[in-house]
Amino acid sequence: MIEKTSMLHKLKEGQVYMETWPMRKELVSLFPEHRIITATRFGIKVMPAVAAISVLTQLSFHNANGLPQAIIIALFALSLPIQGFWWLGNRSKTQLPPSLVVWYREIHQKIADTGAALEPPKNKPRYKELAQLLNRAFRQLDKNALERWF
């Protein structure tokens, strides 16, 4: 079943997922989230300035002919972080492939074996649940327990 949500809701989900995903070096080569989150955070900081400079430069030189292109560049620059949030929002709702479901269940079982209170594993886990579980694993499991997977 395809879930329909509004664009603003999807962007908010992406923002929440960005805050949830563990930014750990062990995960960099396994998942694209680290690169997307890094680029999105960079875009949030830099792209408003790029947009403003592109428009203000044309205004300061009284170049009316270049203003439409500058506005397009500004809109594109401002859209980059939005694209990152959109991708992250879609990713958070995507079900894990079978190979990651096995991995999800193994990590869940390892955390449960430590005696920690944990809700039952999801039947069809999504990347959002994987991010939450990985955060918990990095907090609760010692480095030796994590070596098997990383």
Note whether 89 and 119 are same-domain residues.
no
40 in Cβ contact with 81 (< 8 Å)? yes
User: Residue 72 falls within a domain, yes or no?
Assistant: yes
Note whether 75 and 108 are same-domain residues.
no
Counting beta carbons within 10 angstroms of the beta carbon of residue 89, is it exposed (0 to 12), middle (13 to 18) or buried (19 or more)?
buried
Domain interval for residue 127: 95-142
Q: pTM here?
A: 0.86
pLDDT in tens, 12-61: 999 999 999 999 998 999 999 999 999 999 999 999 999 999 999 999 99
Note whether 67 and 30 are same-domain residues.
yes
**Count of structural domains within the chain:** 2
| Chain Cα centroid distance, residue 132 | 13
Q: Averaged over 87-103, what is the pLDDT?
A: 96
Note whether 7 and 39 are same-domain residues.
yes
Q: Averaged over 122-126, what is the pLDDT?
A: 94
User: Residue 149 falls within a domain, yes or no?
Assistant: no
Q: What are phi and psi of 95, to 5 degrees?
A: -70, 145
Note whether 66 and 104 are same-domain residues.
no
108-112, 129-133, 138-142, range with greatest mean pLDDT: 129-133
